[in-house]
Amino acid sequence: MVSEATLRSAIENERAVISQLRDKVGDEPLNLLLQSASNTLAFALMGFLDPIVMGRTRTPAELESWLGQAARYLERATQIRKEVEEAAKPAAGGG
Protein backbone atom coordinates (compact mmCIF):
# COMPACT_ATOMS: atom_id res chain seq x y z
CA MET A 1 0.00 0.00 0.00
CA VAL A 2 1.25 3.46 -0.89
CA SER A 3 1.46 5.86 2.05
CA GLU A 4 -0.12 9.27 2.34
CA ALA A 5 3.32 10.90 2.55
CA THR A 6 4.53 9.09 -0.55
CA LEU A 7 1.45 10.19 -2.47
CA ARG A 8 1.80 13.80 -1.35
CA SER A 9 5.44 13.82 -2.41
CA ALA A 10 4.67 12.23 -5.78
CA ILE A 11 1.86 14.73 -6.43
CA GLU A 12 4.09 17.68 -5.57
CA ASN A 13 6.83 16.32 -7.83
CA GLU A 14 4.37 15.87 -10.68
CA ARG A 15 3.05 19.40 -10.18
CA ALA A 16 6.60 20.72 -10.49
CA VAL A 17 7.18 18.77 -13.71
CA ILE A 18 3.90 20.05 -15.15
CA SER A 19 4.79 23.61 -14.19
CA GLN A 20 8.16 23.37 -15.93
CA LEU A 21 6.54 21.88 -19.01
CA ARG A 22 3.93 24.67 -19.14
CA ASP A 23 6.80 27.16 -19.36
CA LYS A 24 8.13 25.34 -22.43
CA VAL A 25 4.91 24.59 -24.29
CA GLY A 26 3.52 27.47 -26.32
CA ASP A 27 0.61 25.62 -27.90
CA GLU A 28 -2.65 26.67 -26.20
CA PRO A 29 -4.46 23.30 -26.54
CA LEU A 30 -1.48 21.54 -24.95
CA ASN A 31 -1.41 24.10 -22.14
CA LEU A 32 -5.10 23.42 -21.54
CA LEU A 33 -4.30 19.71 -21.20
CA LEU A 34 -1.55 20.55 -18.73
CA GLN A 35 -4.04 22.67 -16.78
CA SER A 36 -6.36 19.68 -16.70
CA ALA A 37 -3.54 17.53 -15.32
CA SER A 38 -2.78 20.17 -12.71
CA ASN A 39 -6.45 20.35 -11.72
CA THR A 40 -6.54 16.56 -11.40
CA LEU A 41 -3.65 16.70 -8.96
CA ALA A 42 -5.31 19.50 -6.99
CA PHE A 43 -8.46 17.39 -6.74
CA ALA A 44 -6.44 14.44 -5.43
CA LEU A 45 -4.88 16.65 -2.76
CA MET A 46 -8.11 18.37 -1.70
CA GLY A 47 -10.52 15.49 -2.15
CA PHE A 48 -8.47 12.60 -0.83
CA LEU A 49 -5.45 13.87 1.10
CA ASP A 50 -6.85 16.90 2.91
CA PRO A 51 -5.98 16.60 6.62
CA ILE A 52 -9.65 16.67 7.66
CA VAL A 53 -10.52 13.95 5.15
CA MET A 54 -7.50 11.87 6.16
CA GLY A 55 -8.48 12.26 9.82
CA ARG A 56 -11.61 10.19 9.35
CA THR A 57 -11.57 6.73 10.87
CA ARG A 58 -11.07 3.98 8.30
CA THR A 59 -10.23 0.33 8.46
CA PRO A 60 -6.90 -0.61 6.90
CA ALA A 61 -8.73 -1.93 3.83
CA GLU A 62 -10.74 1.28 3.51
CA LEU A 63 -7.60 3.37 3.85
CA GLU A 64 -5.84 1.31 1.20
CA SER A 65 -8.78 1.78 -1.16
CA TRP A 66 -8.96 5.50 -0.37
CA LEU A 67 -5.28 6.09 -1.06
CA GLY A 68 -5.57 3.92 -4.16
CA GLN A 69 -8.16 6.33 -5.52
CA ALA A 70 -5.79 9.26 -4.97
CA ALA A 71 -3.03 7.28 -6.67
CA ARG A 72 -5.27 6.78 -9.71
CA TYR A 73 -5.73 10.55 -10.02
CA LEU A 74 -1.96 10.94 -9.87
CA GLU A 75 -1.57 8.27 -12.58
CA ARG A 76 -4.09 10.03 -14.80
CA ALA A 77 -2.39 13.41 -14.42
CA THR A 78 0.97 11.83 -15.19
CA GLN A 79 -0.49 10.15 -18.27
CA ILE A 80 -1.85 13.48 -19.54
CA ARG A 81 1.50 15.16 -18.94
CA LYS A 82 3.37 12.43 -20.82
CA GLU A 83 0.95 12.74 -23.73
CA VAL A 84 1.59 16.48 -23.86
CA GLU A 85 5.34 15.89 -23.77
CA GLU A 86 5.03 13.52 -26.70
CA ALA A 87 2.80 15.88 -28.68
CA ALA A 88 5.13 18.81 -28.02
CA LYS A 89 8.19 17.01 -29.42
CA PRO A 90 9.35 18.37 -32.79
CA ALA A 91 8.41 16.12 -35.67
CA ALA A 92 11.19 13.69 -36.57
CA GLY A 93 12.75 14.22 -39.96
CA GLY A 94 11.42 17.75 -40.40
CA GLY A 95 9.38 16.94 -43.51
Q: Domain of residue 26: give its range.
A: 4-86
Please list, in sequence order, all residues whose beta carbon lies within 8 angstroms of the beta carbon of residue 34, skipping any fewer than 6 positions away.
18, 21, 22, 25, 80, 81, 84
- If one counts the domains in the chain, the total is 1
Of the candidates 49, 43, 35, 46, the one whose C-alpha atom is nearest the C-alpha of residue 4 is: 49
Q: Is residue 9 situated within a structural domain?
A: yes
Give the residue-averaged pLDDT of 49-70.
96
Please list, in sequence order, all residues whose beta carbon lies within 8 angstroms of the beta carbon of residue 58, skipping any fewer than 6 positions away.
66
So what's the pLDDT on residue 95? 46
Give the residue-averaged pLDDT of 27-50.
96
So what's the pLDDT on residue 91? 53
Q: Is residue 93 situated within a structural domain?
A: no
Give the residue-averaged pLDDT of 29-36.
96
Classify residue 63 as left (phi > 0), alpha (psi -120 to 50) or beta. Answer: alpha
pTM listed for this prediction: 0.89
